[in-house]
Amino acid sequence: MGWKDTAEPVLTRMPTVQRPEGHVPFKRKLGWTAGVLVLYFFLTNVYLFGLGGGQGGDVFGQFRSILAGGQGTILQLGIGPIVTASIVLQLLGGADLLGLDTQNNPRDQVLYQGLQKFLVIVMICLTGLPMVFAGSFLPASDALAVTFPGGTFGVKWLMFAQIFVGGVLILYMDEVISKWGVGSGIGLFIIAGVSQRLIGGLVSTSFIGNPQEIGIIPYWIGIVTGEVDVGPILGSGFQTLIFGQGQILALITTVMIFVVVVYAESVRVEIPLSNTRVKGARGRFPVKLIYASVLPMILVRALQANIQFLGRILNAQLGSMPAWLGVYQQSSGGVANPVGGLFYYMAPVRNPAQWMWWLGETSNAPWQIVTRVGVDLTFMVIGGAIFAIFWVETTDMGPEATAKQIHNSGMEIPGFRRNVSVIEKVLERYIPQVTVIGGALVGLLAVLANMMGTIGDVSGTGLLLTVSITYKIYEEIAEEQLMEMHPMMRQMFG
């Protein structure tokens, strides 16, 4: 009981966004969601005051697509701190170290909410400080440092202050959407970032962006009109079309992921329910294949992202690391990527060029590549399963909590005794197994999608998250509209 009493005065006073009183009309909800989205896009385009030229590449590297935000902007941190804080909470909650009963006890609910916010703020500092002060990820402007009190050091603190405000803003924008809008802010920011990249990967042309990153549609128009020469179709041209800039493989993978996720969303075990009082009122409790949703996957990826972040910081600080730990190579974009050592094996494979050794785009030996893919697969499949279990436990979706909810809503499983523990026994036959299978499957899918490559380099996880979050939002909107049309339904849903 110790920590609760000590922390209570701080945690209960964390500022929260007001709750709407009564029902928010659907149009208003859309309004709030659109407003926050516009603000988000605006802030990802506002670069930090005091930021100098010659940036050392994105700190988040390949993880930027799932962590949202933008390098060098106010939203430098994106949803990184929220995700990292969530990992800590999931681990603490999953191991039942917190001792908080979030299902029944209102005081514990308040404490949990406060603890969440507090942890996010701690993580903003823990990830923001090294980003500003270590390495050259956010170099201070020399012109400003001359006149600014405190010189370069002062400018760096000023940049950290802006990043800090940006991180806190993301947290509160999420809260506004969760309480007043549709879905959750975090989901929305992920979709926003990934969709932007997807569109970019489809249509960007050489005069808008990087000539190396021509979108798939302009590239193929170029081939048809004869502007682009891919070489002999039976030789190197074939390789370029499938794996290279032709992106045929990436297109197939992207479409496949869409199909698989939407299909997997509909695969479920349905447990029949009937009302104890109203005879004939029947329902079904669905245990979906992706019961824990795809969100736990972001936790595993964030864990990997933090390991790579540590590697980049160490590399930038030490200059040269021991070879067993990590060997880094500057890429053309100025980003240091690991090419050997422990950090190489811990880095997830992102596109075909990184593992298809026969294409000659990687200098690593096949055994090294196989080890790296093996580590990534193990990490994602086992990590996915573990975090799915924790997720189900901490969000009160486990057998015990669900049984209570079903019982309290006056439902029973026909043919079984009317008892919480009986419902729990039946649910225990399905929920844990489905959770583990679903979590491992999503992990496997993410790795496979990454290996095959995706349009716009959005990464398998980014794509999985986007499709499943969009599907959830679609369901929520459908439900919302149903209630608007039939006000009676609202009473039934509660």
Task: Give the CA-trace dihedral at 245, 250, 255, 257, to 10 degrees.
Answer: -160
Residues 144, 149: Cα–Cα separation, whole Å: 10
Query: Is there binding between residue 23 and other proteins (CB under 8 A)?
Result: no
Give whole-number Cα distances, 181 to 25, 196, 367, 483, in Å: 10, 21, 50, 16
Task: Please identify, among the stretches 63-71, 315-323, 393-401, 424-432, the one whose residues bind other proteins according to the rule CB under 8 A.
Answer: 393-401
Task: Please identify, among the stretches 8-16, 318-326, 353-361, 375-383, the one whose residues bind other proteins according to the rule CB under 8 A.
Answer: 8-16
Residues 192, 177: Cα–Cα separation, whole Å: 14
Place of tokens 């795809």: 294
CB-nearer residue toward other proteins: 116 or 337:
116
CB-nearer residue toward other proteins: 18 or 225:
18
- To the nearest 10 degrees (0 to 180), the angle between helices 151-180 and 106-133 is 150
CB-nearer residue toward other proteins: 273 or 386:
273
CB-nearer residue toward other proteins: 165 or 323:
165
**Closest separation in Å from C-beta 417 to other proteins:** 20
Task: Give the CA-trace dihedral at 232, 235, 238, 239, to 10 degrees.
Answer: -130
**Closest separation in Å from C-beta 86 to other proteins:** 5
Long-range CB contact pairs, 110-115, < 8 A, 24+: 110/11, 110/12, 111/4, 111/7, 111/8, 111/11, 111/12, 113/11, 113/14, 113/16, 114/7, 114/10, 114/11, 114/12, 114/13, 114/14, 115/7, 115/11, 115/89
Task: Please identify, among the stretches 17-25, 209-217, 245-253, 254-262, the one whose residues bind other proteins according to the rule CB under 8 A.
Answer: 17-25
DSSP-derived 3-state class of residue 337: strand
Q: Enumerate residues 6+ apart whose C-beta is below 8 A from 45.
A: 70, 73
**Closest separation in Å from C-beta 91 to other proteins:** 14
Residues 450, 458: Cα–Cα separation, whole Å: 9
Query: Which residues inside 188-227 make contact with other proteins, applying CB under 8 A?
Result: none
How many Å from the N-terminal Cα to the C-terminal Cα in the chain?
34
Query: Is there binding between residue 18 and other proteins (CB under 8 A)?
Result: yes
Task: Please identify, among the stretches 280-288, 332-340, 418-426, 428-436, the one whose residues bind other proteins according to the rule CB under 8 A.
Answer: 280-288
Q: Which of 97, 233, 252, 478 binds other proteins (CB under 8 A)?
A: 478
> How many residues bind other proteins, per CB under 8 A?
78
CB-nearer residue toward other proteins: 169 or 377:
169
Q: Which of 230, 249, 347, 411 binds other proteins (CB under 8 A)?
A: 411
Query: Which residues inside 351-390 make contact with other proteins, applying CB under 8 A?
Result: none
**Closest separation in Å from C-beta 104 to other proteins:** 11
Please state, as a whole number, how many other Cβ atoms lie within 10 Å of the Cβ of residue 320. Answer: 9
The string of DSSP letters for 125-191 reads HHHHHHHHHSTTSSPBPHHHHHHSTTHHHHHHHHHHHHHHHHHHHHHHHHHHHHHHSSS-HHHHHHH
Query: Which residues inside 85-144 make contact with other proteins, applying CB under 8 A?
Result: 86, 102, 106-107, 109-110, 112-113, 116, 120, 141, 143-144
Residues 379, 323: Cα–Cα separation, whole Å: 23
Residues in the chain: 494
Query: Which residues inside 282-341 make contact with other proteins, applying CB under 8 A?
Result: 283-286, 292-293, 295, 298
Query: Is there binding between residue 418 and other proteins (CB under 8 A)?
Result: no
Q: Which of 42, 263, 416, 474 binds other proteins (CB under 8 A)?
A: 42
Residues 451, 373: Cα–Cα separation, whole Å: 9
**Closest separation in Å from C-beta 290 to other proteins:** 10
Task: Please identify, among the stretches 46-54, 196-204, 231-239, 241-249, the one whose residues bind other proteins according to the rule CB under 8 A.
Answer: 46-54
| Token pair for 119 | 């942890």
Query: Which residues inside 162-191 make contact with other proteins, applying CB under 8 A?
Result: 162, 165, 169, 171-176, 178-180, 183-187
| Token pair for 324 | 């067993």
CB-nearer residue toward other proteins: 253 or 468:
468
Q: Which of 276, 363, 409, 421 binds other proteins (CB under 8 A)?
A: 409
**Closest separation in Å from C-beta 387 to other proteins:** 12
